[in-house]
Each structure stands twice: as structure tokens, then as C-alpha cells.
Amino acid sequence: DGGRHLSYLPAPQWLLDVTHLVAGWTRVQDPRVASLEGGTVVVGREPGVTSVEPFPPLSDSILGEQMLVVSEEKVTVTELRAQVVAGLSLALRAEPGHPGMVTATAAGTTTLRAPKQEATLSVWLAFSDHTLAPLELYGWQDATLTVATLDPSVATVGGSPGGPSARPWVVAEGAGRGELLQLSLYPPELCRRGRHRAAALGTATAWL
């Protein structure tokens, strides 16, 4: 918590996210290759190899490092993945061999249980280098996501159906199930020129 209170991890395999504690003291070893924005976003500047390093403000020692490679190889979007999130479920499980320890697991649910109930969409991008990233990571202003319903009697799309929606949501209208949502991701308007103007970066369907 940033104070002097000590907290202990239950086992050697556990990890703790301390990004918010070291973001202000993190740097890129070679700023010509990459830079940090806001302490958490890495921006590539030119091809090369460097590292991201958190360091304490009162000494010259480095607390750790992660190698970072900026490549000239182009990466493309190979797949768009989408899931309806209508709610969350929570499961509790006792840990064998660790008395008093309980593991809590949260998972998204896809079922809307009442008319006019709303749900959001979790949208992920799959890249040609076999990595995955949520669309929110790049900001909704850097892409145009259109969402259309294939059966308006079962579900409608919040905002303008089939048109750009910054943060799309789904509204239940009646009983039904299936891959009822069609999603298309387009580059920003400034990047859509000539014959590539109508080409989508990726398309997907979402089960509801």
C-alpha cells in the first residue's frame, strides 16, 4: 500500500502487481529506442534493443529490468475476438495444504436475464506475432468499431446500430440465443484512403 505495513504473499508462485508504486521511478535505458508515457505506456522510437528499468530515487541501483525490442517487422491484426459481458460470477475455493487460504475467481457471464438488461462487450485483438491485447489498450479514438445485431427481436445495440460506437453495449429485447452480434473494426478515418477505405482490420461475431 506504499506505507510501512508489511504484507506477505501466501506462496512462492504468487505475483504482485506493483506498477502503481514504481511508475514514477521507471525509465527506458535507451530513450532513442523507446520512451515511456505516463510511466506505463511504452512507445517505440526506432529499431533497436533496450530495457525498461525501475530504480529507487535514493540510490543508483536497479530494482529489475525487462528487455524491450523495437523491430521494423510489421505486425497486422489477424483476428477480432469479442465476448458479451452481462455480469460477473464469483467462485471461492479452499487451497489444499494452506489452511485459512481461499482463492476467489471472477468470470464474466454472457446471459441477459431480463428485457432491457444491458451488457458490455469485451473486445480483443489477435496479432500476427501471436500476441493478444484488449482494444481499450489502444484507446477507442484510434479505431472505429461497428456493432450490428443479426436479430433485433432478441437484442439491439446501444447508440446507432451498425454505426461507430465508442463504447458499445447490448440491450436485451426478447428470448433467443446464438451468434447474434456482428462486429467490424476499421482504422481511423485519416488512415482510410483510396481502395483501402472500406477494408476492415478484422471482423467477429459474439455469442449471446
List pLDDT tens digits, range 134-146. Answer: 988 877 667 788 8
Q: Using 50, 70 and 90 to split pLDDT, how confident is the model at 161?
A: very low
Span 101-112, pLDDT tens digits: 888 999 999 999
Q: Using 50, 70 and 90 to split pLDDT, how confident is the model at 100?
A: confident
Q: What is the mean pLDDT of the chain?
A: 85
For the chain, domain boundaries: 19-70, 77-207
Span 168-191, pLDDT tens digits: 889 999 999 999 999 998 887 767
Euclidean distance between CA atoms 186 and 181, whole angstroms:
16
Q: Is 192 helix (H, G, I), strand (E, B) or coil?
A: coil
> Which pTM does this prediction carry?
0.72
Q: Where are the beta strands (DSSP E) in 128-167?
A: 132-134, 144-149, 155-157
User: Measured on CA atoms in the order 184, 187, 138, 27, is the torsion positive or negative?
Assistant: positive
Characterize the bridge pairing of strands 102-109 and 155-157.
unpaired
Euclidean distance between CA atoms 101 and 85, whole angstroms:
29
With a CB cutoff of 8 Å and minimum separation 6, the contacts of 99 are none
Determine whether 88 is exposed, middle or buried from the number of CB atoms within 10 Å of its CB (0-12, 13-18, 19+).
Answer: exposed
